[in-house]
Structure formats: C-alpha cells, structure tokens
Amino acid sequence: PHSSRGLRSQCTVGQAQGGGDAIAGEAQTGTLRYLLARPVGRTHLLLAKLVTVVAFVLSFGTSKTAVILLMLLIWIIAGMFMETGPNIVVLGPLLYPLAQKIGMDPIHFCVFMITTLGLGFITPPFGLNLFVMAGLTRTPIPAIARQALPFVRAMLIVSAVIGFVPQISLFALGR
C-alpha cells in the first residue's frame, strides 16, 4: 500500500484489478485527499477570521466597490484552499447579506461567486489544480504556477468584470 502524508491510499486494490495506471491514480487520490481534508478541518478558524475581516471592512461603510472587491479577495483566497462546494456552503450565507446590502441580484451574486472560486483553483501557490497538474505531469509546482499566471490574470479580469457589470450575469434572464 502507498501512503501519502498519513492518509492511506488503496493501491493494493489497483494492483489486483490490473495495473500501474490504477496505482498512479490512487497515489494521486491520496495526495488530493490530504490537500482537501487539511483545510476542511480548519474551516471554523477560517470562518472566525473571515467574520472579523468582513466586520472590519463594513465598519468603513458599505461602498459597493469595497464590498465587491472584498468578495473577490475572499473567494480567491478560499478557492485556493478548499473545493467549490464547501466554499459555497460556508461563504454563500456569510457574504450574501453583504450582496443584498449593496443591491446585488442573487443570480449575479452566484455567478460572481462560482467564477471567482474557480479562479482560486488555479491561483499560485496553493490552488488545488496546480497540485493535480503537478501529480499528473510530474512537473514541479513552481513551473506549473508560472505557466498558470496568464490564465490567472485573464480569469481575474473576467471575475472583476462580472462583479462590477451585473448585466453580464443577468442578460439571459432579461433582468
């Protein structure tokens, strides 16, 4: 059996079912289990810090620009450390009241959140997809991170535009 940072991967199953590809895949799964389990266990710490940051920003007022930039920053950072599903469950209810305060449409809020969390997945140095690519290609993470930077820049621009131009999210609904 192969072990990755204390989390046991079931490589013996892959060997019994026929091959090296299964073993490599299971080794990858073990690495991903570690990367995903580590931050989920610390969600309560992240939330406490996040509530403090949100309260601090709101103490200066609820400028639409400040709230959108705050959401953008929070979602990028959270997207680097946790999968989209847990982030939606944790951050959606926390940040949606802010969106309501600035008059953000619920659909616009959701499109903005999902797009920006996706950006966090590829943002160096901790974006989860960087680790996936490193494992699949056997390329060091810094090399992958350098190659990801143009995509990060492009997605940052797209996320910011979506955040500040609600019509992009709402045109199909006729809102």
* pLDDT tens string 18-48: 444 434 444 444 544 544 455 555 556 666 6
4-13, 110-119, 166-175: least confident range: 4-13
Model pLDDT for residues 48-107, shown as the tens digit of each residue = 676 776 777 677 667 899 889 989 998 998 888 888 888 888 889 888 988 998 999 999
What's the pTM?
0.68
Angle at 65 between CA 57 and CA 62, to 5 degrees: 45
- Which is more confidently placed, 152 or 20? 152
Report how far apart, in Å, the C-alpha atoms of 96 and of each of 107, 135, 154, 175 are.
11, 36, 25, 19
